[in-house]
A and B are shown apart, each in its own frame.
Chain A
Amino acid sequence: MKNKYDVLVIGGGPAGALAGKTAAEKGLSALIVEKRPAIGAPVRCAEGIGKEALHEFIDPDPRWISAEMTGAGIVAPDGFFMKLGSEMAGSKVGYVLDRKIFDRELVWKASEAGADIAVKSRAAAPVIENGAVRGAKIEYAGKTTEVRAGVIIAADGVESKFSKWCGIDTTVPVREIMSSVQYVMTDIDIDEHTTIFYLGNEVALEGYLWVFPKGKRSANVGIGISGRKSGEGHRAKDYLDRFMKRTFPDGKTIEYIPGGVSVCRPLDCTVADGLMITGDAARVVDPLTGGGIYNAMYTGRLAAEVAADCIEKGDCSKKALMKYDHEWRESKMGRSIERNYHIKEYLIKQPDTKLNDIIHSVSNINLKEFSTMNLIKEIIRANPKLVLELGALAASLR
């Protein structure tokens, strides 16, 4: 670890790894600091990602793919099962990753590209001069080192503190944090190629419960409920334990994973003088699905691309870095977050009876292209009245 870099990346998850890798590939000196002693652990993720989304960044490798998905199912509050398939039989629609190995691979690629990596190294405070972020105080093994950089990229996850220290309000509203717990289960009867989502107030208040296969007779079984519905005796863990007892009474838990997933709108602004914010720290998780791996990699890569440009021009002011903020907001990802935010807001207000009606109306769908968007379009086609209820939003869904 040196005292000066072009780019300092805080956090060694998918956002940080892509930021570090991209910066290094652009010929910049880059350091990724990760506060945990190991990259990839502990996992805080259901590990699902779409096939196309993954391919945009890396070719799939059996070393970090736990299972390949060919379809999905949604279980209505009344127990009715809606099967979602791809039009092309046998085609893969997504993967469930092994994040411990996947994250390690991404960081390895960053290191291979030339980035420095420091683990068990925590950014404990920013270095701010004349209102601009110039570096960070890094704690490692009882010592504090000041590391300065042209641009600091905050990729410090849902528990992000760095941008807050720089004066940016990153607080997630209580109603928009998904209080979550997941067990990695073995010895359970599941379809190893189908992800299942359970909806309803009985199962998961203002959220959903998921079964994401990890291979034969094994799956990530987890739940997220709205923070405002969480409390003593009715926490995410209580809901999940109740579901387990009923559905997988003989399953064995081999990993216990709590977590928080933000489903709010992204930060109002994701840059400041010398600072860029990416991934979960920027609150760019998909508010409808809670998925964040792709969005993290996308914003991490884009941030480093813009940083490289700004460093070359010798201007890393907020104004110059705003190119990053504008670009991701106007991207397919940014537009999808905005749209899915509205859909989420609509869905959480619906009673179970309404969700039952919607799901019953489309019991078996074969999607040409497998995506949340196409599923919603199909649902609207089968429920024309929804167009009125969704109001202005419906126009963007046609």
Chain B
Amino acid sequence: MLNVRRDICGYCGCCVSVCPEGALELIDAYLSVEKNCTSCGVCAKVCPLGALEVIDEK
């Protein structure tokens, strides 16, 4: 699953623009992750700060 590290996130919306599922939304000062997130990790890659991480659920 996708984990948002709120202590690092600068709520800029860079990740939202690349999400192929439209699963991310920037709601004022926090990032929301919808259920249709596939944990593809594209957002984690482009984040300028490193605030997103895909966590292995196993």
- Report A's interface with B, CB cutoff 8 A: 35-37, 42, 44, 120, 122, 157-161, 164-165, 170-174, 177, 179-181, 227-228, 230-232, 235-237, 256-260, 262
Contact = CB atoms under 8 A, between A and B. Distances in A.
Interface residues of B, number: 23
Contact of A227 (B18, B28, B49, B50): B18
22 contacts: A37-B28, A44-B13, A120-B28, A122-B27, A159-B26, A160-B17, A161-B22, A171-B20, A173-B18, A174-B18, A177-B17, A177-B18, A177-B46, A181-B49, A227-B45, A235-B49, A257-B10, A258-B10, A259-B14, A260-B16, A260-B17, A260-B48
B48 A172 contact: no
A255 B26 CA distance: 20
A36 B46 contact: no
Contacts of A256: 10
B2 to A, nearest CB: 15
Given A122-B28, A181-B48, A44 B18 contact: no
A161 B23 CA distance: 10
Which A-B residue pairs are the 8 nearest by beta carbons? A159-B13, A260-B14, A258-B10, A227-B46, A236-B48, A159-B16, A258-B12, A179-B48
A181 B29 CA distance: 17
B19 interface: yes
Given A122-B28, A258-B10, A260-B12, A235 B22 contact: no
Contact of A44 (B12, B19, B22): B12
Contacts of B17: 158-160, 170-172, 177, 260, 262
A258 B49 contact: yes
A285 B5 CA distance: 29
